[in-house]
A and B are shown apart, each in its own frame.
Chain A
C-alpha cells in the first residue's frame, strides 16, 4: 500500500483532457514538492513535471501540474495515442525519511 494514492486507471478519447490525482498527507505532499513521471511499458520513467507545476524543457504545455493542500494533480490536454502510459507522482515522506512513489495510473486513450 503506497503512501501516495493514485487511481489505478483513467481513460479518455483523443483530443480530450484528463486529470490524474495523487493524494497524500501533511508529512509528504503537504510540505514537499511533487514531481510526475511518464513510463511507457518497457522503458524508464521520464520526468514530466517538477516542483509541483514546472515543466522541464522539451515537455509540451499539454502537460500541467498543480497542488492543493495534501493532493496533487497532473493534467493532460489534447490527448494523443502516444500519451498512453503509466503515470507516477513522487515526493519526500518525512515520517519515513524516504522518497515515496504513487502506485501509478494507467492512461488509456480510447
Chain B
C-alpha cells in the first residue's frame, strides 16, 4: 500500500527557507505516469497547489510561487523535497505531499501524506 510521509522543521523564521521532505513507501517513486506534488492548506488561503515533480526531475510550479520554490527528487531514497524561500507568517499552513496519478488518463491526487503543520514565526 502506497504511503507518503512528510518530514522537516515545524518552525521557520520569517524570511528564512522552508525545507520539507516526503518519503514514499509501498511503491516505486520511479514508476508510471505519476507526478509527486506539494499542496498546502491554511484557513486564510484554503488549499493551494505548490508544485510537482516526476522521477525524471521534470517540474511544474504554481506561477504565484515560482520565483521562490524548488522541488527535487532523490529516487535512490524514494524521496522528493520542497524548498520555499523568503517565508512569511501568512504562509503558516499544513503542508501535504501527494501523488498526482495520471495512469488512467485522468489526473488526480491520491494518496496524500498526513500533512505537517509549519509555523512561520520569530
Chain A residues near B (Cβ < 8 Å): 2, 33, 35, 37, 43-47, 50-51, 54, 56, 88, 90, 92, 96-101, 103-104
> Given the interface contacts A96-B63, A97-B63, does A45 sit within 8 Å of B106 by beta carbon?
no
Count contacts between A and B, CB distance < 8 Å: 56
> Given the interface contacts A44-B96, A44-B112, A98-B63, does A104 sit within 8 Å of B46 by beta carbon?
yes
Query: Does A56 lie within 8 Å of B110, measured CB to CB?
Result: yes
Complex Cα distance, B113 from A43, in Å, reads: 9
Tally of chain B residues near chain A (CB < 8 A): 20
Which B residues touch A47, using CB under 8 A? 108-111
Main secondary structure on chain A at its contact with chain B? strand
Query: Does A33 lie within 8 Å of B109, measured CB to CB?
Result: no
> Given the interface contacts A44-B113, A44-B114, A44-B115, does A99 sit within 8 Å of B108 by beta carbon?
no
Chain B residues near A (Cβ < 8 Å): 46-49, 62-64, 96, 104-115
Query: Does A2 lie within 8 Å of B107, measured CB to CB?
Result: no
- The residue in B63, B105, B107 that gathers the most chain A C-beta atoms within 10 A of its C-beta is B107
From the candidates A46, A51, A101, name the one contacting B48 in the complex (CB within 8 A).
Answer: A101
